[in-house]
Amino acid sequence: MNSILKALLNNKILMCGACGWAAAQVIKTIIYAWMHRGIRWERLVGDGGMPSGHSATVSAMASASAFVYGFSSFEFAVTCMLAIIVMHDAMGVRMETGRQGKVLNEMIDFFRTEGFVEAFKKNDRMYEFWEASLKELVGHTPLQVTAGCMLGILIACLMLL
């Protein structure tokens, strides 16, 4: 077991990715606390927000791959394409999912205030959202993705150069 842990900790690409994610999550939590005048500890592991943890992770790994194996390597090619896909997805599908969650939460709040509980109780799938809310912080704006990408590159540079 020690040899596996040692191998993981010595994996420069993996460590850059993990540090990129951790740095983004800490910065995201601090920014959120500053903007909302209070700490929400779930921001340390939550999605959405500034900077993008997903972007920081994959860009740190891609940058580290370039530094360790070279820009013409298979490793860089794979991590670079993965980074592009993840960052594109964060701004596209995941951002739209968050917007839809916000609209649906507003609709549910409206129905709550207007006394439509009986209509919700007749449909089990709708009633499960009566007490809960959908996640709204799921995706990222282009600025959040760019900030995460730059942070990931910076982390890889600091760790490997």
> Could you say which DSSP state residue 37 is in?
T
Residues 32 and 107 in one domain: no
Burial 124-142 (b: 16+ CB within 10 A, else e): eeeeeeeeeeeebbbbbee
What is the pLDDT, as a whole number, of residue 34?
93
Residues 11 and 73 in one domain: yes
- Name the domain count of the chain: 2
How far is the C-alpha of 92 from the C-alpha of 56, rounded, in Å?
17
Q: Would you say residue 141 has pLDDT above 90?
A: no
Q: Which domain holds residue 19?
A: 2-89+141-160
Phi-psi region of 124 (alpha: psi -120 to 50; beta: other; left: phi over 0): alpha
pLDDT, tens only, 33-57: 998 898 888 888 887 789 999 999 9
Residues 47 and 69 in one domain: yes
pLDDT, tens only, 19-33: 999 999 999 999 989
Q: Would you say residue 11 has pLDDT above 60?
A: yes
Residues 152 and 110 in one domain: no
**Region of poorest pLDDT, from 4-13, 59-68, 111-120, 141-150:** 111-120
Residues 98 and 77 in one domain: no
Residues 83 and 6 in one domain: yes
Q: In whole angstroms, how far apart are CA 10 and each of 5, 144, 153? A: 9, 30, 19
Q: Would you say residue 79 has pLDDT above 80?
A: yes
Q: In whole angstroms, how far apart are CA 12 and each of 1, 80, 102, 148? A: 19, 16, 39, 19
Residues 58 and 107 in one domain: no
Is residue 103 within 8 Å of residue 57, measured between CB atoms? Answer: no
What is the pLDDT, as a whole number, of residue 48?
78
Residues 34 and 103 in one domain: no
Residues 119 and 149 in one domain: no
Nearest to 56 by CA among 17, 88, 15: 17
Residues 29 and 6 in one domain: yes
What is the pLDDT, as a whole number, of residue 145?
93
* Local confidence band at 117 (pLDDT 50, 70, 90 cut-offs): low
Residues 65 and 10 in one domain: yes
Residues with Cβ within 8 Å of 133's Cβ and at least 6 positions away in sequence, in order, are 101, 105, 108
